[in-house]
Amino acid sequence: MAGDVLDPATLAAVRAHLDAARRVCVLTGAGMSAESGIPTFRDAATGLWSTFDPAQLASEEGFRADPQRVWDWYAERRAGVRAAQPHAGHLALAAFGRRRPGVLTLVTQNVDDLHQRAGWPETIRLHGDILADRWLEPCPRGLACDPATASAGRPPRCTECGNLVRPAVVWFGETLPERALDAAERAARACDVMLVVGTSGAVWPAAGLAHVARRAGAQVAIVNPDASEIDDQAHWVLRGTAAGVLPRLLDTLGRPPS
């Protein structure tokens, strides 16, 4: 919120480092989208995992055990993502990136498209795209059919071989998209400042990016209203929300003096 009480010296120090940085890597998590109305995973009262078991809903085993339940859960979340709008924090990040060509690499664990819709289409997505579909199995006939051709159903099926359609997200136990992870690791190693926004730091390898940046000599700043598992990697912690803190951190950086 705009009313976050931040230590002015910390805010000024992070702003100064961001202002001087030749490369900035921003890693976002579910807290980034919370103020757009998309629930986080691990917040005790409102997080998705407070009412759902991750192993049953966000794993291949869970999907195979009850495809309709998992498909319906994703259908509801897809509707929430489509209805959500980027907030001031998403907009501040994208505007900072545009004002500083070549400086920003934005890496997200989020499966929504709010960074892209805020104006940063080159966002690196580590955990996939909730609005896209893919086949559960490789096609047994080696055909490259589009999942959009599947029969209607919950979930839809291939009319030829019965293959199921699933959301194109990364579930527990699945590897992250190689190119995205490589690009994220390169950005973490090369940045002068890493800004980590709205993640519990509980899920790997994404959480490891803060360690990679710190080990490579970057200054690490965290924006989160609560403690995270990677606070020990941070030089600074800004206890506030994404929509409240990011505009205050970024909005005047890189603007010509008025």
Binding residues for ligand BJW (CB under 6 A): 29-31, 34-35, 40-43, 47, 58, 109, 111, 127, 130, 169-175, 198-200, 202-205, 224-226, 228, 241-242
Catalytic residue, candidates 17, 90, 115, 127: 127
Please tell me the distance from the alpha carbon of residue 254 to that of residue 102, in angstroms, as a whole number. 13
Q: Which candidate, 38, 55, 57, 58, places its Cα nearest to that of 46?
A: 38
Alpha helices (H) in the chain, listed in sequence order: 8-20, 31-34, 54-57, 60-65, 67-83, 88-99, 114-118, 178-190, 208-215, 242-250
Where residue 8 falls (left for φ over 0; alpha for ψ -120 to 50; beta otherwise) is alpha
Q: Is there a cis peptide before residue 225, judged by omega within 30 degrees of 0?
A: no
Q: How many secondary structure helices (H) and strands (E) does the chain include? A: 10, 8
CB 79 within 8 A of CB 167: no
Place of tokens 């598992």: 229
CB 27 within 8 A of CB 195: yes
For residue 216, count other CB atoms closer than 10 A to its CB: 13
Compute the least distance from the CB of residue 43 to ligand BJW, in Å.
6
Question: 47 or 145, CB closer to ligand BJW?
Answer: 47
Question: 197 or 218, CB closer to ligand BJW?
Answer: 197
Compute the least distance from the CB of residue 101 to ligand BJW, in Å.
27
Question: 29 or 67, CB closer to ligand BJW?
Answer: 29
Question: 2 or 202, CB closer to ligand BJW?
Answer: 202
Residue 17 among the catalytic residues? no
CB 44 within 8 A of CB 118: no
Task: Quote the tokens at residue 72.
Answer: 């319906």
Compute the least distance from the CB of residue 218 to ligand BJW, in Å.
20
Question: 136 or 145, CB closer to ligand BJW?
Answer: 136
Compute the least distance from the CB of residue 255 to ligand BJW, in Å.
24
Please tell me the distance from the alpha carbon of residue 128 to that of residue 233, in angstroms, as a whole number. 26
Catalytic residues: 127
